[in-house]
Structure 1
Amino acid sequence: MSNVHNRIEAPTRAYEAPLHAQQVAMSFGGEFPEDFAAVLENSTGHRSTIGCVIPAYNEEESIADVIEALLKQTRVPDVIHVVVNNTSDNTVKIASEFAGPHELQGEDGEQFTEVFVHDIGKNPDKKVGALNYGYSLVEGCDYLLGVDGDTIADSRAVEYLETEAVGDSRIGGISAIFTIDDRPIKGGIAKFLIAGQRTQFAAFNLQNLLRGRNMAVLGGQFSIFSTNALRDAMKQNHQTTPWVKDSEVEDSLLSLQIKSAGYLTKISPYARANVGGMTTLKGYDAQQVKWTYGAIELMWPGQRGDTKGQPFHPNLRLRWFENFGMLTNLFVRVAFVVLLAGSLSIDAFIFSAWWLIPPLVAMALNLRIARTMTHCDNRDVMFAVLLFPAELFMWVRLGHFLRSWSRFLSKKKVDNWAAQAKAESGGGSLGHWAPLLLLAAVLVAMAVVWTLIGPVAQSTILWVGWPIVGVVTVLQTVGMFAKLLRRHHGYKV
């Protein structure tokens, strides 16, 4: 029986209850139904069923490693569906090499699974369409394991996620800790960007772990969902599918809906996975703009299109802090540069050693975050302790922040999914340079205005400006120092 399918529409059959042993065995094409049923029926207690869905778009470089990592799990998913959409490379061909039943020998004995590959062709809903197609195939299972087409999990990741999910019926979904494997990365810019993203992901994961392990976003990278929770979220929001296409961040929206349905959204302290990072400025910009723009839509009061803003949702508190922090970082840096230039122009600058404290605290905080990484290497340490790389990366992120908010406030309709796909393939515009050009234009304009005003006005601006920047910087430094002293309770990211 062939396990490679070329279908456009999802099957209409849906299961309302978890699969029993014989049902699951039959879903594996009848290759070894008796053996598989025996494994389930002879296990102590209830053995949950896990259906894995891998949405894949042009993942020929990684899909083989993703599937192999799943087949090497100590707890292999009961069925694996690779849903290929809108692809133009050899993803289907490579994934098809794994199609069919697999009898695996592990520490706890034999395990059985089967891999199916579905090429659904051109799908206007892109990843959302692939996820919903996959859900229709596994909704009869107890859990849906969502895995991105470039995510390689540690060997016990599924086991850890399942153990915690089964142990608490209140859990609607659990995310693994995710990072980027920087060992195969080549090129100076790529290494710089990956080091920054590793620090960014580490800080995000750590924040969620320290918030009672309440995960703000059950990311598509590697998360397990209770199908009961998905059904309840769908019912509460009058949806026919778990994921909807009207949000730029489909995983964030679903996480909010699961939380609103009364379930917990958690992050595992043990399950880990390596995701694919962005190795070009253009690709990283497109990804971050899409994520930030989608988050703003969810945070913003009122409603745009079909997505209703939920500014007071508990899962969005971290988003508010992130955006406020970015705004503060932008103000302090631009104001400092402007005031410093103005002071130097009239010989009014007086150096104070107190200004060295904020960067030193920031370096110490970055170093502590780096040391919490499970696989911290010399590149992570150097990125933290050398001021220039982290500061340059912050300016890159500020560019994404400005582009996201300007695009949102302009109400300009942009397909951020398509923009990211084009950027990752090397196409797209040079829009990621727009914030830098805008900053240069603003500084030039301010310099011209500065030369036109008199010395009294110049002195007044400096007299008012420096204390304001000083107060904001002090508050920002106190916040960083508090994070530096905060207990991590042994968590490693």
Structure 2
Amino acid sequence: MTLLVEKEEGRMSIFSMPGVKKTYMKPRIIALIPAHNEEKSIRDCLAGLNDQLLPKGVDLDVYVIADNCTDRTEEKAIQAGEEFNLNLKVIVTEGNKLRKVGALNSGWKLLYGDLLDIYNTELTESQIVYKHSVKAVLGMDADSRLAPNCLKYLWEGLMSARNIGGVMAKYTMRMPKKKSQLSKSDVYYEEKIASGEYGGPMSRWWTHQQKQDMASWLLDLQYHGGSTYVLGGQATLFRPEALQEVVNNNKLDGPWQNDSDVEDMLLTWQLQKSGWKTLVSPKGRCFVDAMRSYHTFREQRNKWNSGTVELLTNKDLDVKTRHKGKIWRNQVKLFSDLLIRVMFIVLLAVALATDQYYWSWIWLTPIALASVLNIILALKTPMYRPIDVIMAGLLISPEMYLWVNLMTFGQVWLGKLSANKKDGWANQYAAESGKTRSKLTQGILLCLLLAAGGAYLCYNYRDFLTSATVQGAIEPYLMGGWVVLTYLTIIKSLMMVYQIWTLRGRHTA
């Protein structure tokens, strides 16, 4: 990887600081923003930084890392820096094969020195003074936007105790505007659609499901003390000493590593291993983009989940988290969700085919609890819509969304048995850029064909399937299956009662 250009816009440069004493510089926060072909979003990201109320006596310096860009990201960043009068520098890289990790470490090395520099170049006196003036490092994505006062809340959280290594903002997915509001006769129609600001019903549906999922996760973290096992890369404020300790303890050339598809989670676990606390801010909010289609969502979750499983099972990484038990419980929960649904479908099909199905009102209990739970979650999700609450109460949206997550869960664990490791980042980029297509339609058609074939066979062989011989042979297994499913459902119902109890608190998502 080569660092090509360092372009300065604004009022300050770490290499030329006229009028500043060599022995002192105001404390500052630096923002590292990796941006790969983000010409459409970088201005909005920097506008969010311009909205921030900085702590008294603290400066903000912004570093946009234009990484392997083939668009106008660099130009747009410079224009926005001038427009908002930000202390902004653009770092341009080429040949970076480590994607976001390499881009972030490029910014880090510029400020803290490159340990792999064969010429052993030392920082100048001004650079050393500047490095000591940095009191916090903000890592954020180029398609994220901080809500007003977010940086102030993150700073207050980071400075509330000496052992806090990082504080993450609360993330809320931005809901796209209704595509139907646009007139197709608008001369800017295609440009507005391409901007990503507008979306159809399905993209809005996917956005809300992810927003509610994120709200549920954030509420759970806050209920259990605010400690988090992942400091999300969309917007987290780090203590520079904590990042430097990760570099030193793990003999790295930068805090971020490419050993995992979830580099932010790996860094968080390394911070915790070194004794630093990692928290979610109770007030600071950041607005982020959601995956707006089945295909892009699946590829993103495949990357996240496979990275999480790799951290849990790969002993060579030598990392640990105090939340390891919680993460394993989440994996067990997903497995139980999948097992319950598969068992129910199989048992119901066999019972109907052999005419041995008996309705019991007790099965309404978990359905009612799930409905109550999802209504509460929908109401606690920021900026919810009435239709979201209705769909949540009817369990239509939660069940569809859960099935997609269960398919991803199964795919990830089956992938552990495969000898070929997939590149999660590459697959997600390919999906987002439209280079790959979903096989959802083919999958649905296959399921419908199998269901229709099964129904046809059951109808034609109904006399045989409902005979006393077949019923007698099937009944012990069928009853045993229903008993197991009943116990599993009771356990799941108690878990939902507990989750409803935790949501009564004052915490907000």
What's the TM-score, normalizing by structure 2? 0.82
From 130, 145, 150, the equivalent of 1:157 is 150
Letter in 2 for 1:300: T
Structure 1 position 60 matched with structure 2 position 76: no
- Give the distance between the partners of 2:391 and 2:286, measured in 1 at CA: 22
What are the residue-to-residue correspondences of 1:407-426 with 2, within 5 Å?
407-426=415-434
Residue 96 of structure 1 corresponds to 78
- Give the distance between the partners of 2:394 and 2:138, measured in 1 at CA: 39
Over 3 Å counting, the alpha-carbon distance change for 1:196 and 1:280 in structure 2 is same
- Give the distance between the partners of 2:143 and 2:394, measured in 1 at CA: 30
- Give the distance between the partners of 2:403 and 2:176, measured in 1 at CA: 25
Deviation at 1:432, TM superposition (A): 6.3
Residue 27 of structure 1 corresponds to 14
Over 3 Å counting, the alpha-carbon distance change for 1:409 and 1:86 in structure 2 is farther
- Give the distance between the partners of 2:103 and 2:174, measured in 1 at CA: 26
- Give the distance between the partners of 2:209 and 2:66, measured in 1 at CA: 30
Residue 336 of structure 1 corresponds to 344
From 453, 457, 479, the equivalent of 2:473 is 457
Deviation at 1:344, TM superposition (A): 0.9
Residue 201 of structure 1 corresponds to 214
Q: Is the 8 A contact 1:146 1:221 kept in 2?
A: yes
Deviation at 1:84, TM superposition (A): 1.8
- Give the distance between the partners of 2:443 and 2:274, measured in 1 at CA: 40
- Give the distance between the partners of 2:167 and 2:372, measured in 1 at CA: 31
Residue 71 of structure 1 corresponds to 50
User: 334-343 vs 381-390, which deviates more?
Assistant: 381-390
Over 3 Å counting, the alpha-carbon distance change for 1:439 and 1:293 in structure 2 is farther
Structure 1 position 484 matched with structure 2 position 500: yes
Q: Is the 8 A contact 2:5 2:92 kept in 1?
A: no
What are the residue-to-residue correspondences of 1:248-259 with 2, within 5 Å?
248-259=261-272
- Give the distance between the partners of 1:102 and 1:294, measured in 2 at CA: 37
**Can you give the 5+ residue segments of structure 1 that lack an aligned partner in the other structure?**
1-6, 13-23, 42-46, 104-112
What secondary structure does 1:272 align onto? Answer: strand
Q: Is the 8 A contact 2:5 2:93 kept in 1?
A: no
Residue 17 of structure 1 corresponds to none
Structure 1 position 319 matched with structure 2 position 327: yes
Deviations 1:226-254 (A, max 9, x none): 01001111222221210111111000000
What secondary structure does 1:247 align onto? Answer: coil
User: 388-397 vs 248-257, which deviates more?
Assistant: 388-397
Structure 1 position 243 matched with structure 2 position 237: no
Structure 1 position 81 matched with structure 2 position 63: yes
Deviation at 1:373, TM superposition (A): 2.7
Residue 365 of structure 2 corresponds to 357
Structure 1 position 124 matched with structure 2 position 97: yes
What are the residue-to-residue correspondences of 1:73-472 with 2, within 5 Å?
73-75=52-54, 78-99=60-81, 103=85, 113-139=86-112, 140=131, 141-184=134-177, 185-300=198-313, 302-303=315-316, 307-308=317-318, 310=320, 313-430=321-438, 454-472=470-488
What secondary structure does 2:421 align onto? Answer: coil
What secondary structure does 2:364 align onto? Answer: helix
- Give the distance between the partners of 2:447 and 2:111, measured in 1 at CA: 50
Q: Is the 8 A contact 2:47 2:84 kept in 1?
A: no
Over 3 Å counting, the alpha-carbon distance change for 1:291 and 1:431 in structure 2 is farther
Letter in 2 for 1:53: L
Over 3 Å counting, the alpha-carbon distance change for 1:436 and 1:397 in structure 2 is farther
Deviations 1:236-273 (A, max 9, x none): 22212101111110000000000111110000000001
What's the TM-score, normalizing by structure 1? 0.84
Over 3 Å counting, the alpha-carbon distance change for 1:318 and 1:434 in structure 2 is farther
Deviations 1:16-74 (A, max 9, x none): xxxxxxxx9552854xx55x88xx98xxxxx6421101111222222110011101111
What secondary structure does 2:252 align onto? Answer: coil
Deviation at 1:472, TM superposition (A): 0.3
Letter in 2 for 1:342: V
Deviations 1:392-413 (A, max 9, x none): 1111111111121122221322
- Give the distance between the partners of 2:232 and 2:210, measured in 1 at CA: 16
Residue 192 of structure 2 corresponds to none
- Give the distance between the partners of 2:446 and 2:418, measured in 1 at CA: 16
What secondary structure does 2:80 align onto? Answer: coil
- Give the distance between the partners of 1:435 and 1:302, measured in 2 at CA: 36
Deviations 1:326-352 (A, max 9, x none): 111101111111111111112211112
Over 3 Å counting, the alpha-carbon distance change for 1:229 and 1:484 in structure 2 is same
Residue 126 of structure 2 corresponds to none
Deviation at 1:92, TM superposition (A): 2.4
What secondary structure does 2:159 align onto? Answer: helix
Deviation at 1:434, TM superposition (A): 8.6
Deviations 1:136-174 (A, max 9, x none): 234422211011111111110101111221221110000
Deviations 1:432-467 (A, max 9, x none): 679768978998999999989933332222111111
Deviation at 1:366, TM superposition (A): 1.4
Letter in 2 for 1:228: E
Residue 117 of structure 2 corresponds to none
What secondary structure does 1:199 align onto? Answer: helix
- Give the distance between the partners of 1:461 and 1:446, measured in 2 at CA: 20
Q: Percent identity?
A: 28
Over 3 Å counting, the alpha-carbon distance change for 1:445 and 1:291 in structure 2 is farther
- Give the distance between the partners of 2:442 and 2:409, measured in 1 at CA: 12
Residue 19 of structure 1 corresponds to none
What secondary structure does 1:481 align onto? Answer: helix
Over 3 Å counting, the alpha-carbon distance change for 1:79 and 1:301 in structure 2 is closer
Q: Is the 8 A contact 1:98 1:115 kept in 2?
A: no
